[in-house]
Amino acid sequence: MNNQKYLIAANWKQNGDAKSLIRLINNFIRLYKKAKPTCDILILPPAIYLETILNRLKHHKVSRKKISLGAQNISPYQNGAYTGELSVDMTKDYNCNYTLVGHSERRHVFNEDEKIISKKVRLSIESGMQTILCVGETMAEYNSKSTKKVILRQLKSALVKSANLIKSDHNKIIIAYEPVWAIGTGKTASLDDIRDVHGYIHNSLSKILGTKTNSIKILYGGSVNNLNAASILVLSNVNGALVGGASLNSKKFIDICSSI
Ligand code: PEP
């Protein structure tokens, strides 16, 4: 790409409680104001704490353009009798402008299939959200050299029905390449593999969408931390990171944000 800003996203998953997450965001904002990183930052808290975190950002007068909020998951349906679900439009009430779709924990722990992921992507884009689609291979798929085949299938199945929407605004989709075996394990993909797969994702997006896709951001995720972030973020076609574990530590997370 391009002169777009890097995006560093914090996926807090199902961690913490009101007290600990308020402490985490307060500490992070304090460090953020000192370090003044140039990247865009996204916080994906557990949905029940979106309002709490939004209020902290407002209290500290942090522009939502600098630190955005997003939903870790959304319903594949607009609204209605879907007990326990969270609609994409509900998240807008808390100033969310990003959603995360197809995270490997949604695919593998909650058995979300490609049809559901495709519906979520479409609904999220239609509703104006910047939609982060996660793709990535399992260890078995990596070992059998099927990474590219798996990623192509995941991209196609998730994006084909939204191709026209994406073509009209490339900002609406962001891809996160997250090898399943690298998430929460302390193992990261090799720099060569990250470079290679991110290049492949760009080529695949161009084919699927039938247009140049240089401005579509591709994030890397999978055990990114304060020590390895700089070497990953400098790679071509890496436009940011999706960070789980290390985002729960304000110092580590600000160091990641400051490493580019
Ligand atoms: C993730 O949850 O998307 C993730 C990459 O987690 P971790 O950084 O802990 O591997």
Is 7 in contact with 219 (CB distance < 8 Å)?
yes
Identify any residues that bridge with 10 across adjacent strands, giving them in sequence order: 43, 243
Mean pLDDT of all residues in 229-240: 97
* Average confidence score pLDDT of the chain: 96
Q: What are phi and psi of 226, to 5 degrees?
A: -65, -20
Query: Domain with 146 in it: what CATH number?
Result: 3.20.20.70
pLDDT over 80 at 196, yes or no: yes
Question: How far, rounded to the nearest angstrom, does the alpha carbon of residue 135 sit from its chain's CA centroid?
Answer: 10
SS3 100: strand
Number of the ligand 1 atom closest to the C-alpha atom of 245 = 9
Residue 144's identity, in one-letter code, is S
Could you tell me the distance, in angstroms and rounded to a whole number, from the CA of residue 130 to the centre of ligand 1? 19
Is 114 a residue of the active site? no
Q: In terms of residue numbers, what domain contains 31? A: 7-257
Provide the pLDDT confidence category of residue 3 given band limits of 50, 70 and 90.
low
Residue 86 belongs to a domain: yes
Residue of the nearest CA to atom 2 in ligand 1?
A: 244
Q: What percent of the chain has pLDDT over 70?
A: 99
Give the integer Cα–Cα distance in Å for 147 and 18. Answer: 39
Residue 64 belongs to a domain: yes
Residue 2 belongs to a domain: no
Residue 1 belongs to a domain: no
Q: What is the dihedral of CA 35, 36, 41, 46, to 10 degrees?
A: 50
Is 98 in contact with 42 (CB distance < 8 Å)?
yes
Mean pLDDT of all residues in 138-161: 98
Residue 187 belongs to a domain: yes
pLDDT in tens, 98-116: 999 999 999 999 999 999 9
What's the structural domain count of the chain?
1
Number of the ligand 1 atom closest to the C-alpha atom of 247 = 8
Give the integer Cα–Cα distance in Å for 59 and 52. Answer: 10
Could you tell me the distance, in angstroms and rounded to a whole number, from the CA of residue 128 to the centre of ligand 1? 25
Is 60 a residue of the active site? no
Give the integer Cα–Cα distance in Å for 20 and 228. Answer: 26
Residue of the nearest CA to atom 1 in ligand 1?
A: 244
Residues with CB under 6 A from ligand 1: 11, 178, 183-184, 221-224, 242-246
